[in-house]
Chains A and B, each alone.
Chain A
Amino acid sequence: MKQVWKIGTIFTAVVGIWISLLLTPGLPPSLQLIVPYFPMYALASLGCYGLGALGYGMMVFRVCPEEADLLQKDITEAKTFFKEHGVDLSSD
């Protein structure tokens, strides 16, 4: 429950800052054009970051061929061991 309160207060504070920025009369016109688009821009950036991190993770994921071979050897060894001791491990 504490984590929810913390996140909730931070979110409310950020939304409050955004609304106060929207309502200040004395803002320079360069900022006045961009401020209304802040929340949607933040959401779009979050989505793009998520997709990009996913793609990057897919690119650098290691496949470990040596460990795959060792695992196959372990599997065949275990199968022969169990077959000798009478347990049938065929998959049909």
Chain B
Amino acid sequence: MELGDRAIGFLLLLFSTTLFAYYTFWVIITPFVDSDHFVHSYFPAREYAIIIPGIAIAALVSFVLVFVGFVMVRASQGKPMAKSKTS
């Protein structure tokens, strides 16, 4: 059980470190590399460094708000039904 948790934690740590290194290289180092160097083939156009995280953040916030709204609507629907049954 704890071995599974340790493995997941390690994978998460590795994933976040790799993501940070890739993003740092993409945003800060690629503008200073010659445009015909092979390294540029590993990174998409630099504008996507703003577009992709922007869409991800918007999707995450939307999902959280929709979920909270859904739970609130379901809770308010449960109350009038219970009241009409007992009265």
Tell me if B54 counts as interface (CB < 8 A to partner A). Answer: yes
Scoring B13, B17, B24 by chain A CB atoms within 10 A of each residue's CB, the highest score goes to: B13
Are A48 and B53 closer than 8 Å at their CB atoms? no
Please indicate the chain B residues that have their CB under 8 angstroms from the CB of A89 in the complex: none
Please indicate the chain B residues that have their CB under 8 angstroms from the CB of A40 in the complex: 27, 49-50, 53-54
Give the interface size class of chain A. 20 to 34
Interface of A is mostly: helix
Are B27 and A58 closer than 8 Å at their CB atoms? no
User: Complex Cα distance A40/B57, Å?
Assistant: 10
Residues in B20-41 with C-beta less than 8 Å from chain A: 20, 23-24, 27-28, 31-32
Q: Given the interface contacts A34-B28, A40-B50, A41-B23, does A52 sit within 8 Å of B13 by beta carbon?
A: yes
Q: Given the interface contacts A30-B32, A34-B31, does A48 sit within 8 Å of B9 by beta carbon?
A: no
Minimal beta-carbon separation of B30 from chain A (angstroms) = 9
Task: Kindly identify which residue among A37, A45, A59 contacts B9, using a CB–CB cutoff of 8 Å.
Answer: A59
User: Complex Cα distance A56/B57, Å?
Assistant: 23
Task: Kindly identify which residue among B1, B15, B20, B49 contacts A45, using a CB–CB cutoff of 8 Å.
Answer: B20
Are A37 and B50 closer than 8 Å at their CB atoms? yes
Please indicate the chain A residues that have their CB under 8 angstroms from the CB of B15 in the complex: 51, 55
The chain A residue with its CB closest to the CB of B17 is A52
What residues make up the interface of B, taking CB atoms closer than 8 Å to A?
A: 1-2, 5-6, 8-17, 19-20, 23-24, 27-28, 31-32, 49-50, 53-54, 57
What residues make up the interface of A, taking CB atoms closer than 8 Å to B?
A: 30, 33-34, 37, 40-41, 43-45, 48-49, 51-52, 54-59, 61, 63
